[in-house]
A and B are shown apart, each in its own frame.
Chain A
Amino acid sequence: GAGVSQSPSNKVTEKGKDVELRCDPISGHTALYWYRQSLGQGLEFLIYFQGNSAPDKSGLPSDRFSAERTGGSVSTLTIQRTQQEDSAVYLCASSSTGYNTEAFFGQGTRLTVV
């Protein structure tokens, strides 16, 4: 596609429910990243994919968080048993190689856990 697409744009969920956030990177981009941004805060790195593998998932805050990428394209970030502290904007970015190249960000998914 023309840019990085994320869905849904907004998600309100009840505490304890599971949520899935989707990212469609720019076609041909091998590197894909997930970040989290809380209100007024910087971007917190969650996980990095190169192709379908995740060489670095050190930023995932707990085992309730997981992510996968299939076909070297679409990625899904899953949060199980959501907590109120999970409320944030989840941003996905992709880049052509991942090696110090410009990253293109999606508009993000605003997750609100009530």
Chain B
Amino acid sequence: GQNIDQPTEMTATEGAIVQINCTYQTSGFNGLFWYQQHAGEAPTFLSYNVLDGLEEKGRFSSFLSRSKGYSYLLLKELQMKDSASYLCAVGRGSYIPTFGRGTSLIVHP
């Protein structure tokens, strides 16, 4: 089985940087995904890491350490529209991710 932990809720200020952590324990690990989900909407893909290190994509970056079972999503230059739930998901075997409960990020002015 797998166990995925991430904080339930975080708050940050517009323009700031926020880091959302995710730890996992799983068998057959095959990559880690981050998805964004705005309230009432479907999740949308943000990033995928399979090798250790940092992947940067615009204002968003994602980091993975396989040996530590740890990942984080880094959001820079926060905007109000970044208020959403951020879902960490572990890819297991040859198919799709098992999701954590998600972190609700609230960005305030």
What range describes how many residues of A lie at the interface?
20 to 34
Min distance, Cβ A11 to any Cβ of chain B, angstroms:
16
In the complex formed, the residue of A with least CB distance to B102 is: A42
A-contact bits for B19-48, CB 8 A (1 contact / 0 none): 000000000001100000000011111001
Contact flag A98-B94 (CB < 8 Å), given A42-B99, A42-B102 = yes
Q: Is the interface of A mostly helix, strand, loop or mixed?
A: strand
Contacts of A44 in B (CB 8 A): 99
Q: Which of B41, B48, B87, B98 contacts A45 (CB 8 A)?
A: B98
In the complex formed, the residue of A with least CB distance to B85 is: A42
A-contact bits for B69-109, CB 8 A (1 contact / 0 none): 00000000000000000010101001111111110000000
Is B12 part of the contact surface with A, judged by Cβ < 8 Å? Answer: no
Is B54 part of the contact surface with A, judged by Cβ < 8 Å? Answer: no
A-contact bits for B36-68, CB 8 A (1 contact / 0 none): 000001111100101000000000000000000
Min distance, Cβ A72 to any Cβ of chain B, angstroms:
16
The winner among B31, B89, B94 for most chain A CB atoms within 10 A is B94
Top-5 shortest CB links A-B: A42-B101, A105-B42, A43-B99, A102-B45, A100-B31
